[in-house]
Amino acid sequence: MIVLGIETSCDETGVAIYDAEKGLLAHSLHSQPIHAEYGGVVPELASRDHIRKLTPLIRQVSCSAGVDLHQLNGIAYTAGPGLIGALLVGAATGRSLAWALKVPSIAVHHMEGHLLAPLLEFPAPVFPFIALLVSGGHTQLVRVHSVGRYTIMGESLDDAVGEAFDKTAKMLGLGYPGGPALARLAEQGKSDRFHFPRPLTDRQALDFSFSGLKTHALNTLHATEGHLQDRADIARAFQDAVVDTLLIKCRWALEASGLSRLVVSGGVSANQALRSRLHQLAQQQAWEIFFPRLEFCTDNGAMIAFAGCQRLVAGQSESLNIAARPRWPLGDLTAPGR
Ligand code: KG4
Ligand code: ZN
């Protein structure tokens, strides 16, 4: 089965072609630079840019995969959660193309895409495992039994971890998206100057709360002169607090589940401090740990083609109605074939 995957939930247009037997054949991504000048994603501009870029990107990926569109056996597109206008561009394009080619289409949950992205790598994790999903919109610890069988063990009560990175970065005068910029600044920061709290670690809860860290960063910034070194030290203290908190919760989730396999995915899993600290912890605890390659941590079409393929192979597909779900709890998903 050869599946075209389309990702348009936010500000990246991602397209990929995945072959159930041969693996990933080609993928390409267009990141929208236009939002940087506004300091955040402008939904209407995102939708318009997806319209401009999606069709040429599909042509380009089909060409580099050496796959004619008529050879496709199915089309997968992100149907939510995300920005409604942006989602509708992918949904309308995916469904229309599927109808024209007379192949099935499948609506993919964006976070299921992230969750399954490490399965594109070799060696791939085997089920069951615990997934830490850390993106711009979500922070979740999920017990993953198999494709579509997910138990949410904990999630963010306020800002998602990527959102906290972005907001703190903005406060420190860094551009958008702020996560990678803050991580770069943190490399120049001293670890022993400021100590930020590790939220919700005073009790054995698996939920997260990162909005207080942003306020803590602001108060700390106001208490300094705001020089580059001050800001670097704050970035370092913020990142250390986030990474420590995520590590503590991962350890609790694995202990509670009795599992020893951890999968980490979503935009913030590209963070080098998080990756190296988790690798160290996994070694100490004798866990197996899996990350996607860096380009598949953040939004991409490959994870959508892969997740859609798992469901299409199991016989699941959609009616002709074009629908998108800006809000869509991951826990609502069921296993394919049910
Ligand atoms: O998964 P993703 O591409 O989109 C969503 O589904 O939200 O995640 C984007 C988020 C942004 O908040 C971005 O700042 C953050 O991931 N991010 C990072 C890094 N790379 C991306 N945060 C910290 N360190 C990074 N290296
Ligand atoms: Zn994402």
Q: Is residue 48 part of a domain?
A: yes
Tell me, yes or no, whether 93 and 153 share the same domain: no
Tell me, yes or no, whether 240 and 305 share the same domain: no
In the predicted model, is pLDDT for residue 238 greater than 90? yes
Q: Is residue 337 part of a domain?
A: no
Tell me, yes or no, whether 283 and 162 share the same domain: yes
Q: How far apart are CA 282 and CA 114, in angstroms?
A: 21
Tell me, yes or no, whether 93 and 191 share the same domain: no
- What average pLDDT does the chain have? 96
Question: Does ligand 1 have an atom closer than 6 angstroms to the CB of 159?
Answer: no
Q: How far apart are CA 209 and CA 225, in angstroms?
A: 28
**What is the Å distance from ligand 2's center to 303 Cα?**
10
Tell me, yes or no, whether 76 and 164 share the same domain: no
Tell me, yes or no, whether 22 and 65 share the same domain: yes
**What is the Å distance from ligand 1's center to 298 Cα?**
6
Helix (H) or strand (E) holding 95: helix 84-101
Q: Is 284 exposed, middle or buried (0-12, 13-18, 19+ CB in 10 A)?
A: exposed
Q: Is residue 56 part of a domain?
A: yes
For the chain, give the number of residues: 338
Q: Is residue 185 part of a domain?
A: yes
How, if at all, do strands 129-134 and 261-265 pair?
A: parallel
How much of the chain, in percent, has pLDDT values that exceed 90?
A: 95
CA angle (213 as vertex; 274, 159 as ends), nearest 5 = 80
Tell me, yes or no, whether 132 and 145 share the same domain: yes
pLDDT tens figures, 90-114 = 999 999 999 999 999 999 999 999 9
Q: How far apart are CA 321 and CA 57, in angstroms?
A: 24
How is the beta sheet containing 23-31 ordered, strand by strand?
23-31, 12-19, 2-7, 74-80, 105-109
226: number of Cβ within 10 Å: 12
Task: Output the six-digit token pair for 98.
Answer: 């599927």
Q: What is the CATH number of the domain that holds 110?
A: 3.30.420.40
Tell me, yes or no, whether 181 and 225 share the same domain: yes
φ, ψ at 4 (rounded to 5°) = -90, 130
Query: How many domains does one find in the chain?
Result: 2
End-to-end CA distance of the chain: give it in Å, rounded. Answer: 20
Tell me, yes or no, whether 83 and 172 share the same domain: no
The pTM assigned to this predicted structure is: 0.96
Question: Does ligand 1 have an atom closer than 6 angstroms to the CB of 80?
Answer: no
Tell me, yes or no, whether 206 and 306 share the same domain: no
pLDDT of 176 reads 85
Question: Does ligand 1 have an atom closer than 6 angstroms to the CB of 178?
Answer: yes
Residue nearest ligand 1's atom 13 by CA: 179
Q: Is residue 240 part of a domain?
A: yes
pLDDT tens figures, 113-154 = 999 999 999 999 999 999 999 999 999 999 999 999 999 999
In the predicted model, is pLDDT for residue 338 greater than 70? no
Residue 225 domain boundaries: 128-291
Residue with tokens 């993928």: 27
What's the average model confidence in pLDDT over 275-288? 98
**What is the Å distance from ligand 2's center to 287 Cα?**
25
Which residues touch 123 (CB under 8 Å, ≥6 apart)? Answer: none
**What is the Å distance from ligand 2's center to 225 Cα?**
36
